[in-house]
Amino acid sequence: MLLASFFGLAIGLILGLTGAGGGILAVPALVLGLGWPMTQAAPVALMAVGASAALGAVDGLRQGLVRYRAALLMALLGGAFTPLGLYFAHRLPEDLLMGLFSLVLVLVAMRMHRQARGAQGVAAEHGWQQKNCMLDASTGRLRWTLRCGLTLAAVGSCCGLLTGLLGVGGGFLLVPAFRQLTDIRLHGIVATSLMVIALVSLMAIVGAVRAGVVIPPAGGVFIVASVLGMLAGRIAAPHVPPRALQNGFAGLCLLVAAYLLCKTFA
């Protein structure tokens, strides 16, 4: 229980500091820290990330930042594809799942490092005219074109598939996809992504429980501790230099990915 509390607080703190993508380390914390198999760790990690995301989404709704129509569309498609991810998660070898998860961690680390160097911001400035989803200047709302709807549906589907397969909330995919494909401001992107994560995680958790996954008491402790850690992280985030935070998170992802690969295939 003590270890579950420690890792829960640590993951919540990282989630609060880094935003929607920080929850990707919840599964490694349970697998490496508590020795759980990935199929057991994934639903507990989703509960922790989903609960934290729900708090952020409620705050975003209160401030009027959430693009709720876009979030609902993506969550519906994500919920539809989550069972497919769960299906493969329970049939693929554990070693393959670990390898896929490590690859995702490496990709997240690379994106964070590029973001710290400011590369994404430069790309966004030069590519704004090619955005798939644009805001209407007169209303401030998204223009619901066929292209925009298909784009959001595709991103939501991928998010749901990865949520079911690897037990990740999908923030590492949603935030950069929103930044690349829409002209929504960053605060709105994060708030909308948190709502999608909360809804898709809830659907994935229901599917996992119906499939017979049992949440042990240590899992409940981990979830509660992660929520408390997330609240502490959100308070501390404004006082931490963003570049140092992004580089630190990228380095941590690479270390965890390397350790996972060594533990799995050594």
Q: What is the pLDDT of residue 124?
A: 43
Query: Which residue would you say has higher pLDDT here, 245 or 118?
Result: 245
pLDDT-above-90 percentage for the chain: 14
Q: What is the pLDDT of residue 21?
A: 65
Q: What's the mean pLDDT in 230-244? A: 82
Total count of domains within the chain: 1
Q: Which domain holds residue 174?
A: 2-265
**pTM score, two decimals?**
0.79
Query: Which residue would you say has higher pLDDT here, 213 or 34?
Result: 34
SS3 label, residue 133: strand
Q: What's the mean pLDDT in 183-196? A: 85
Q: Is pLDDT at 123 greater than 50 in this prediction?
A: no
Q: Is pLDDT at 186 greater than 60 in this prediction?
A: yes
Computed on alpha carbons and rounded to an integer, the radius of gyration of the chain in Å comes to 18
* Residue of 86, 84, 56 lying closest to 71 (CA atoms): 56
Q: 223 and 44 in contact (C-beta within 8 Å)?
A: yes
Give the model's confidence band at 221: pLDDT under 50 very low, under 70 low, under 90 confident, else very high. Answer: very high
Q: What is the pLDDT of residue 22?
A: 67
What pLDDT digit, counting tens, does each position of 2-54 carry?
889 998 898 888 877 776 666 788 888 888 888 888 878 888 888 888 888 88
CA dist., res. 17 & res. 248, Å (int): 11
Q: Is pLDDT at 97 greater than 80 in this prediction?
A: yes
CA dist., res. 260 & res. 238, Å (int): 31
What pLDDT digit, counting tens, does each position of 252-262 carry?
889 988 988 88
Of 17-26, 67-76, 137-146, 229-238, minimum mean pLDDT range: 17-26
CA dist., res. 61 & res. 44, Å (int): 25
